[in-house]
């Protein structure tokens, strides 16, 4: 029987656990609630509604130590509303390997069987795996909960450990520049994206006469506040620009705090960027979609070439993390997401043996920021035969003040207007070369 927890943590159930419809809590009067609170030390004797988990009578044969332990655990039990199944339907495999009743297991052990939880497939180097005896409220949410329904602090937890960078390195991703550096072509592109002028919004919180008040308003505030007030003034919305008349951006789609559920995983953590941009299905012709279908599959399949089911070939992410040292967390999140983005383009080019064209070329961008600092990176592959490693190139880092306030905005607009069309054309040129009878087994996600 699976619990409903006060902290809304939903855990993945082991085989053998079945659940029925959750029991709705009965309505209680204020007087009855007061009586139930007093029952922490005594047992209700003459009320129509009994406590959910009554303590044993002092006259029972339960040893005194067990009574004391049960009192200590009462606050945990009262937070759980258990499904109204019969005993037989709540069977689970316990630690001993024998089938046991989940409710009775909890009453006896004051914890759930270790099979009730599923650990991440990758453990960050230097960190201990969570104990299987930890209470559900302390466990990291597992994949039974869609990633985009998890609280922000939960999804960013793996990235807070400095060892996550070592985990990325073990997968071929390095949060630094390659000794080979980016190509001269990419260096020129970065300068152009930084220097080309753009029209910025006239009436916004970045307006000259109110910008100092804006900075004061968001100073030392949390991510939700910063995202609400200024995130789209740092990284503008591609779809909003398209609605306002930027017709060339109608091929783009975006995601906001949405899990990349259609992407083949790199680590046990699935990317869930605060903001991401990629291509719509309509960016490609019907013939191109047919050529890609064997390696992409259906909307519920995973592949190298998709982020969400609506987003093909993502190329931009933005992460917001506030607090001392938290920008490094945003950098790790972006490095993870953009590795998947660059990897997808490389794997597409490998299908037609053109991957060498991408060596040291920037194929994606990321922006990390908080209430006062912004970092812009380009992400690129280093290709050596069948081996591909991934690096990032620092493009610009600046304090969010009057002189620099529109830097990231204009850079992003230039990515949309100048770099993106060329990137799409490059991708389409490869798709046009894919054989129409491409074998599904050629999809490298199976290797």
Would you state the pLDDT for residue 145? 52
Look at residues 382, 338, 343, 345 and name the one whose alpha carbon lies nearest to residue 364: 338
The H helix count followed by the E strand count for the chain is 14, 8
Question: How much is the pLDDT for 333?
Answer: 96
What does the pLDDT look like over 290-301, one tens digit per residue? Answer: 999 998 988 889
Q: Does the model's pTM come out above 0.85?
A: no
**What pLDDT does residue 192 have?**
97
DSSP state of 442: G
d(CA 116, CA 53): 22
Interval 230-259: pLDDT, tens: 999 999 999 999 999 999 999 999 999 999
Residue ranges of domains in the chain: 30-149, 153-446
User: In the chain, which stretches have pLDDT less than 50?
Assistant: 1-29, 31-32, 35, 40-68, 70-99, 116-121, 123, 125-144, 440, 442-447
What phi, psi does 308 have (nearest 5°)?
Answer: -100, 175
> Using CA atoms, how far apart are residues 229 and 210, in angstroms rounded to an integer?
13
Mean pLDDT over all residues of the chain? 77
The span from the CA of 419 to the CA of 162, in Å, is 33
Distance CA 444, CA 266 (A): 13
Chain CA centroid to CA 423, Å: 25
3-state helix, strand, coil in the chain (%, to 5): 40, 15, 45
């Amino acid at each position: 029987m699976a619990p409903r927890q006060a902290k809304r943590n939903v855990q993945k159930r082991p085989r053998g656990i079945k659940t029925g419809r959750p029991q709705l809590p009965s309505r209680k009067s204020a007087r009855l609630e007061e009586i139930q609170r007093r029952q922490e030390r005594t047992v209700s004797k003459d009320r129509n509604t009994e406590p959910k988990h009554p303590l044993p009578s002092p006259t029972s044969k339960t040893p005194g130590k067990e009574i004391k332990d049960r009192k200590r655990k009462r606050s945990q039990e009262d937070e759980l509303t258990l499904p109204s199944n019969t005993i037989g339907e709540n069977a689970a495999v316990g630690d001993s390997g024998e089938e046991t009743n989940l409710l009775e297991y909890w009453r006896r052990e004051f914890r759930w069987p270790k099979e009730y939880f599923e650990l991440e497939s990758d453990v960050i180097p230097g960190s201990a795996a969570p104990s299987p005896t930890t209470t559900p409220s302390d466990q990291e949410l597992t994949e039974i909960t869609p990633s985009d329904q998890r609280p922000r602090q939960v999804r960013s937890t793996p990235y807070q450990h400095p060892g996550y960078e070592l985990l990325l390195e073990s997968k071929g991703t390095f949060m630094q520049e390659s000794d080979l550096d980016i190509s001269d072509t990419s260096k020129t592109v970065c300068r152009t994206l930084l220097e080309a002028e753009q029209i910025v919004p006239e009436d916004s919180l970045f307006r000259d006469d109110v910008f100092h008040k804006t900075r004061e308003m968001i100073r030392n505030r949390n991510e939700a506040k910063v995202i609400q007030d200024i995130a789209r003034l740092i990284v503008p919305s591609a779809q909003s620009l398209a609605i306002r008349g930027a017709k060339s951006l109608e091929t783009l789609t975006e995601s906001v705090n949405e899990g990349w559920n259609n992407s083949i995983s790199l680590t046990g953590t699935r990317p869930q960027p605060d903001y991401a941009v990629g291509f719509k299905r309509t960016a490609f012709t019907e013939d191109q979609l047919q050529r890609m279908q064997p390696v992409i599959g259906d909307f519920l399949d995973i592949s190298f070439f998709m982020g969400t089911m609506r987003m093909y070939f993502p190329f931009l992410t933005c992460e917001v993390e506030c607090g001392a040292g938290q920008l490094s967390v945003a950098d790790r999140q972006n490095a993870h997401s953009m590795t998947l983005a660059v990897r997808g383009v490389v794997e597409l080019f490998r299908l037609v043996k053109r991957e060498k064209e991408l060596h040291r070329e920037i194929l994606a961008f990321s922006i990390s920021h908080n209430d006062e600092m912004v970092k812009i990176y380009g992400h690129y592959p280093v290709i050596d035969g069948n081996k591909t490693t991934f690096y990032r190139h620092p493009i610009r880092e600046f304090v969010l003040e009057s002189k620099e306030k529109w830097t990231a905005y204009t850079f992003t607009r230039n990515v949309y207007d100048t770099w993106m069309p060329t990137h799409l054309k490059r991708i389409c040129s490869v798709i046009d070369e894919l054989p129409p009878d491409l074998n599904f087994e050629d999809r490298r996600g199976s290797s």
